[in-house]
Chains A and B, each alone.
Chain A
C-alpha cells in the first residue's frame, strides 16, 4: 500500500499570523518499506504523519493511500499511530490498553484477551497483563503502546518519535525489537525521529526535511542488509550514510537557529 503525498501543505493560524508547517511536500512512501522522516524540531514531520493517519486535517494538496485519494474518506482505517507521548490509558490495565481497539470493534472479551496476551508475550511483557501503565518502566510502557498498535493489524504503522524519551540502552533494545517485528511483518512504516543513527539503523530510506517551512530536502536510500542489528553502526556503509545525513541536518539546524535569532532580534 503505497502512500503518496502530493503538494501537501499545512498552514496553521489565521490570515494575519500564519505558520507554514508543511510547504508543498511531495513524496511516495513505498509499500511495505520502512521510511524514516528526519528533521530538526518544528519541521512538520509529526504533522505529516498525523495527516497521513487522518488524525489532522490539512490545508492543501492530497494524500493517496493504496491508489485511493483520502479526501472525503473515513480517515485512519489504513493506519495506526504509536505516539510520542504513548497516550496509554492510565486507568486501564496493560491488557485492556492493548485490547482497546478490539473492544471498540465489539470483539468478545475472551477473544480479545487471547490475542492481547499473545501480543504482550511477543513484546516481552508476559506476566504484566494486570499492571497499570504508571506502574511500568519507560521501556515497558513503550512495549504496551507498540502492542496496542500492532493488535490493530493495519497495513500502515505511523510512529512519532516513540523512543525519544528512553535511555540509551533501552532505546537500542527497542530499536532492534522494532526492526525484528517489521522484518517479520508486511507493514509499511513511517517513523519520525530526530536521531540520525536511529533513522539509518531502522529505515530503508531516510527522508530529510528542512527547517520551517517543512519541505523535503533529500531522500537518502539505505541499502544496509536485513535483518538489521546494532553491529551495523560500525560498518563503513553506515558511516557514509551517517555523514551524509549529518551534513544535511547540520545545514538545517543552523538555518533554523538563524531564523530564531532573526525573530528574536
Chain B
C-alpha cells in the first residue's frame, strides 16, 4: 500500500511539473485542428504549423533577425537615456528637499499624460527618424525610473542612517555608503518598469510614421496591411519571447548586483 502511495506521489509530482506544458500543447493542438477541420482562411487565423513555417523562413532569409536587432538597439538606446536621467533626477530629489519640491509639480503634471499623445508633436519637431523613437520611449520610461528611485531613497530605513552616523560617517558618507546601496533594489524595480514601457513605446513608434521601414513594429504593421497574417503572428511570438528574455535577464542582473534583497541567495 505504501509503495502504491509513493508512486502515486511521483505521478502527482510529474503531473504538477508537466501541467503548464501539457496545457500549452493542448492549446496548440486544438488551434491546429480547429483551423484544419473548419478550414479557416489563413488571413483570419493561420494554423500554428503555418506560423512556424513562416517563422523559420523569416529567420533564414534574415528579415526577422534584422528587424529584431534594430528594435533591440532602439530599446537599449531609449532605456539607457531614461535610466540615466531617471536615476539622476530621482537621486537628486531624494537627497534634496528643495529639488524634490521644484520637480514635483512637473512630475505630477507630466506623469499622468499618455506619452503616446506626444507623438504628433515629436514628429513635427524631430521627424520620424531614430531620434523621435528614442525620445518618445525615453520620455515615457523616465517617469517610472525617476519616481521609483525617489521613493526608494525616501524609504531607506532611518535606523541604518542613524547607525552609520553613530559609527562616525559624515552626511556625504551616509548618502553614498548607506542611502544609495539601501535604495538599489527599489531603483532596480523602477528600471524594470521603465524597460517594460520602453519596449511598448519603441514598437508603437515603429508602427507610426510613414517613412519607418525597419523594426518589429514596422514588420507587424506592414504584414498586417498586406494581410500576411502568418507574419503578424510570427512577429508577435518573437516579441513575446524577446520580452520574456529581457525581463529574465534584468532579474539576473538585479540578483547579481543586489543579492541581499533576495531571500534565496
Q: Which A residues contact B (CB, under 8 angstroms)?
A: 53, 55, 76-77, 80-81, 83, 85, 87, 89-92, 100-101, 103-105, 132-135, 148, 152
Contacts and interface: CB of A to CB of B under 8 A. Distances in A.
B121 interface: no
A81 B182 contact: no
B163 A81 contact: yes
Contacts of A92: 181
B264 to A, nearest CB: 11
A90 B160 CA distance: 10
A91 B181 contact: yes
Contact of B166 (A81, A132, A133): A81
A91 B182 contact: yes
Contacts of A53: 166
A81 B168 CA distance: 11
Contacts, number: 57
A91 B260 contact: yes
Contacts of A89: 160, 164, 178, 181-182
Contacts of B258: 91
Interface string B235-265: 0000000000000000000000011110101
A175 B263 CA distance: 30
Interface of B: 157, 159-160, 162-170, 173, 177-178, 181-182, 184, 258-261, 263, 265
Contacts of A87: 157, 159-160, 162-163
Contacts of B259: 132
A100 B164 contact: yes
Contact of B162 (A55, A104, A152): A55
Nearest to B182: A91
The 4 residue pairs across chains A and B that have the minimum distance between CB atoms = A87-B163, A101-B167, A90-B260, A104-B169
Contact of B159 (A83, A134, A148): A83
Contacts of B168: 77, 101, 104-105, 152
B257 to A, nearest CB: 10
A150 B140 CA distance: 49
A55 B160 CA distance: 12
Contacts of A135: 265
Nearest to B263: A134
10 contacts: A83-B159, A83-B162, A83-B163, A87-B163, A91-B258, A92-B181, A100-B164, A100-B167, A101-B168, A103-B177
Contacts of B182: 89, 91
Contact of A104 (B159, B160, B177, B181): B177
A76 B166 contact: yes
B260 A104 contact: no
A177 B58 CA distance: 71
Contact of A80 (B167, B184, B265): B167
Given A55-B165, A133-B260, 4 more contacts: A53-B166, A87-B159, A104-B168, A135-B265
Given A91-B181, A91-B260, A152 B167 contact: yes
B184 A76 contact: no
Contacts of A103: 177
Contacts of A77: 168
B178 A76 contact: no
Contacts of A55: 162, 165-166
A260 B200 CA distance: 56
A199 B18 CA distance: 59
Given A89-B178, A89-B181, A100-B167, A132 B260 contact: yes
